[in-house]
Amino acid sequence: VTEPDLRGRHVVVSAGGTREPLDPVRFLGNRSSGKQGYALARTAAARGARVTLVAANTTGLPDPAGVDVVQVGTAVQLREAVLKAAADADAVVMAAAVADFRPATYAAGKIKKRDGQDPEPVVLVRNPDILAEISADRARPGQVIVGFAAETDDVLANGRRKLERKGCDLLVVNEVGERKTFGSEENEAVVLGVDGSETPVPYGPKEALADTVWDLVAKRLG
């Protein structure tokens, strides 16, 4: 039996991976399926929260029952949707894989290859850092903000540095690879707290990690 310990709370979860278009047919993207974010949304709803799920390119995943789903494509769109939903939220969990950069220009027509010529280099510009922005400028006092860190090496040390840089309260550090974590039903992580705490979550269903995140969020909300 799930305790309704998030009843009366509004939580925002981002899920999936942003796609940054080059032209009408191509984009820069990443391997996030959205499964970890959807598990967070489902478990929060099961614990009584009102949930807004900002979903980036999570085709194929059914909308969780009783959850408000906002579909977005790019990092800029994800930022807008998260800022809007966060205005009255008790907690925000950023499980989405957000592109740090986007192509500087968008070609209105499909980019053509030119016979015998080298391809044009792709010039990138920085995307807004949504997690850092909502952490620095909290929409409500006491709002709990959780980030995720997808790392391939030096996982914990990189996670600790990222927690400091981003300014969030909790950071879920998980290891990723071409066939690790992305798209799978399981995950394994350490949740770092700004208070120095470390909560290891053993390999298991993404729902189990999600429930540990909500336990820690509920504790902070009091």
Which residues are the active-site residues? Answer: 30
Q: Is 159 in the site for ligand PMT (CB under 6 A)?
A: no
**Contacting range for ligand PMT; rule: CB under 6 A; set: 20-28, 115-123, 175-183, 196-204:** 175-183
Q: Mark the segment that binds ligand PMT (CB under 6 A) among 40-48, 60-68, 84-92, 178-186.
A: 178-186
Is 61 annotated as contributing to ligand binding? no
Is 180 among the annotated ligand-binding positions?
A: no
Tell which one of 130, 145, 170, 218 touches ligand PMT (CB under 6 A): 130
Q: How many residues bind ligand PMT (CB under 6 A)?
A: 26
Report if residue 91 touches ligand PMT, rule: CB under 6 A. Answer: no
Q: What's at 221, amino acid-wise?
A: L
User: Which region, judged by CB under 6 A, interacts with ligand PMT, from 4-12, 105-113, 114-122, 129-137?
Assistant: 129-137
The CB-of-145 to ligand PMT minimum distance in angstroms stands at: 9
Residue pair 69/53 in contact (Cβ under 8 Å)? The answer is: yes
> Which of 13, 92, 145, 150 is the binder for ligand PMT (CB under 6 A)?
150
* 43 lies in the binding site for ligand PMT (CB under 6 A): no
- The annotation status of 195 as a binding-site residue, yes or no, is no
Residue pair 204/188 in contact (Cβ under 8 Å)? The answer is yes
* Site residues (vs ligand PMT, CB under 6 A): 32-36, 75, 94-98, 100, 127, 129-131, 147-150, 166, 174, 176, 181-183
